[in-house]
Amino acid sequence: MPQTLAQKLVARAAGRATVTPGEIVICRVDLAMFHDSSGPRRLKPMLERLGAKLWDPARIVLVTDHYVTGEDAESRAIVGLAREWAKAQNIRNFHDGVGICHIVLAENGYLRPGMFAVGADSHSPTGGAFGVYMFGIGATEMLGVVVTGEIWLRVPETMLIEWDGRFGDAVCAKDVMLYLCGRFGLDGGGYQAVEYAGSAVAALPMQERMTLANMTAELGGQTGLVAPDAVTRAYLAEAGVRESEIEITPWQTDAGAPLAAHHVFDATALAPQVAAPHSPANALPVGEFGDVAIDVAYVGACTGAKLEDLRMAARVLKGRHVARGVTLMVAPASRKDEAVARREGLLATLEDAGARLLPNACGLCAGYGERFAPEAKVISTTARNFRGRMGAASTEVFLASPYTVAASALIGRIADPRAVLQ
């Protein structure tokens, strides 16, 4: 019986040959990830109440990224608790203040095709870029996982989204996801598996595929998958994963597998997208925005400040300076990506253009620490522009790709990066 990639991943975790969409199964978890906000501060008291031990500390990854900038006593206490807990529980896979959890997981080679993983963060579908069934859960459900090693799942349907052809210059994964949010809405994914395929997706580097998988959260999917290939293999080898641990062939959707929906789009026709306040679903081609002045341009977050994203922003800003009155902030998604960006001269380009560099953390995207000013008009590479998330209720946040954010910073208004790069 032909199966989708999602079905194959769930079947393996459930110890079954095949599974049928809609049935409830119990899955063994290969990897559980949580951060300072969703992890120890909530898990510790519950574990103590249960008097329970962790099922397998080697399968747990803890990353501090939400409160690491420690702007006040409460934030510092949350991070301090995470550090103490990691030590007490002997968590070896502890990454402290070196980047955003989803990026840290990938660059350290934790994710390998065929795995079944959960993360206590809504952008956990990012792992799906590696052919991993990964999704976000809350802290109490994470408690269940770290005590039992298991989780229930309704076997998902698969929504297959193909992009044929090639994306145009200055069009990237962020544009794809904003377009899809606009087209299908914030519940378009129906909490099912979304698989991205087609020649344009196959041509994307891993970090761009991670952006597709990541923003499946905004599209309302449970996970966002890209079937592994030679690009996946090369990235993982670079991340230190042994060749024998990388399986490609078993983790593909079979021809004739059951699909809930199948959409084919022409990549060459996609224009840069901008989502107006206060929803990613308010996406329109950049050309449809008239004269919109901006105060702040923000390049940050797991979805918008990886090395590939920094390259895009730097390409637009090279040898130029942001418009007078515009504040440009850049928060590289991980220390590793920041180091490479420095070697490549990208950071110098960005700083020469007027960028203020921020720590490798969730930063303003989470809205847990520093926030944008009331009334500010912001264009941002982040994932969500819900009212009040990153600032006051009167703060207006537009979402766009690193190309478009950089071009807008340069001009001082929402701008088409293709015009700037000509």
Partner 1 sequence: MSARAWVFGDDVDTDAIAPGAWMKFDIDRLSRHCLEALDPGFAGGVRPGDILVAGRNFGCGSSREQAAQALKRLGLAAVVARSFAGLFYRNAINLGLPALECAQAGRIPAGAEIEVDLEAAAVHIAGAESLRCAPIPPFLLELLRAGGLLNQLEQRLAAARERKPA
Q: Which residues bind partner 1 (CB under 8 A)?
A: 24, 37-38, 42, 46, 49-52, 67, 72, 74-75, 78, 120-122, 124, 136-141, 143-144, 147-148, 152, 185-187, 191, 220, 222, 279, 281, 366-368, 371, 384, 386-389, 393
User: In terms of C-beta distances under 8 Å and separation of at least 24 residues, what long-range contacts does 242-246 make, across chains too?
Assistant: 245/112, 246/112, 246/113
Output 109 or 369, the one with its CB closest to partner 1: 369
Q: How far is the CB of 122 from partner 1 (least distance, A)?
A: 4
Q: How far is the CB of 14 from partner 1 (least distance, A)?
A: 15
Output 33 or 299, the one with its CB closest to partner 1: 33
Q: How many degrees, rounded to 5, is the angle at CA 129 between CA 123 and CA 131?
A: 120
Q: Residue 242: is it exposed, middle or buried by C-beta count within 10 angstroms (0-12/13-18/19+)?
A: exposed
**SS3 of 138, please?**
coil
Asked if 402 and 277 count as a contact pair (C-beta separation under 8 A), the reply is: no
Q: How far is the CB of 332 from partner 1 (least distance, A)?
A: 21
Q: How far is the CB of 324 from partner 1 (least distance, A)?
A: 30
Q: How far is the CB of 175 from partner 1 (least distance, A)?
A: 21
Q: How far is the CB of 301 from partner 1 (least distance, A)?
A: 13
Helices (H), 318-421: 335-343, 346-352, 402-411, 417-421
Output 90 or 148, the one with its CB closest to partner 1: 148
Output 199 or 394, the one with its CB closest to partner 1: 394
Beta strands in 108-164 (DSSP E): 116-119, 133-136, 150-154, 158-164
Q: Give the alpha-carbon dihedral of 81, 87, 91, 92, to 10 degrees.
A: 130
Nearest CA to 4 out of 197, 136, 183 is that of 197
Output 260 or 339, the one with its CB closest to partner 1: 260
DSSP secondary structure code for residue 284 in this structure: E
Q: How far apart are CA 182 and CA 260, in angstroms?
A: 20
Output 79 or 328, the one with its CB closest to partner 1: 79
